[in-house]
């Protein structure tokens, strides 16, 4: 899955299934989602586009993954927080730079709780952690803060 910041709109997540079907989800700033499925014979042509409220998106998540709720896990949406994956591209300004140099928490109020690099997960990276293109950062904060973080990290 890849993500693309959409300034002023939100973040688009793209997925190609095992059967080579293209799907995308646009996470809008207001918490709603747009689910898009593309045609099999023309992967650039949209066959279905459905706008979901945040409540409808949660209901869909429940239908897809009914076991995702655990009494030991915090529901970030109930707390007004979101957790998202943000991919750092090889062309990002931050590729090869220290996490602390991004001033992420100061600028956006978000926390980077983990970095996924190849088959490894690095929990709680410190300010001296060196970012690399291809890293996926697990970011938690307000919707606005997460979107701002994605925009900062996507800067070329």
For all residues of the chain together, what is the average pLDDT?
86
DSSP sequence for 109-155? --EEEEEEETTEEEES--TTPBP-TT-EEEEEE-HHHHHHHHHHHT-
Encoded tokens for 118: 């190849």
The pLDDT of residue 136 is 92
The pLDDT of residue 3 is 85
pTM: 0.54
The pLDDT of residue 72 is 46
Residues 6 or more apart whose CB falls under 8 angstroms from that of 137 comprise: 85, 86, 87, 88, 112, 114, 115, 116, 149, 153
pLDDT at 70 over 70: no
């Amino acid at each position: 899955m890849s993500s693309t910041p959409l300034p002023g709109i939100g973040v688009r997540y793209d997925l190609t299934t095992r059967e080579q079907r293209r799907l995308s989800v646009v996470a809008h700033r207001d918490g709603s989602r747009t689910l898009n499925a593309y045609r099999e014979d023309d992967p650039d042509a949209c066959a279905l586009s459905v706008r979901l409220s945040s409540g409808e998106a949660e209901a869909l998540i429940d239908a897809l993954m009914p076991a995702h709720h655990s009494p030991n896990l915090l529901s970030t949406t109930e707390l007004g927080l979101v957790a998202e994956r943000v991919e750092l591209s090889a062309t990002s300004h931050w590729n090869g730079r220290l996490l602390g140099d991004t001033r992420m928490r100061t600028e956006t109020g978000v926390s980077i709780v983990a970095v996924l690099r190849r088959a490894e997960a690095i929990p709680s990276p410190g300010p001296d952690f060196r970012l690399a293109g291809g890293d996926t950062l697990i970011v938690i904060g307000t919707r606005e803060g997460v979107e701002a973080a994605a925009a900062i990290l996507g800067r070329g």
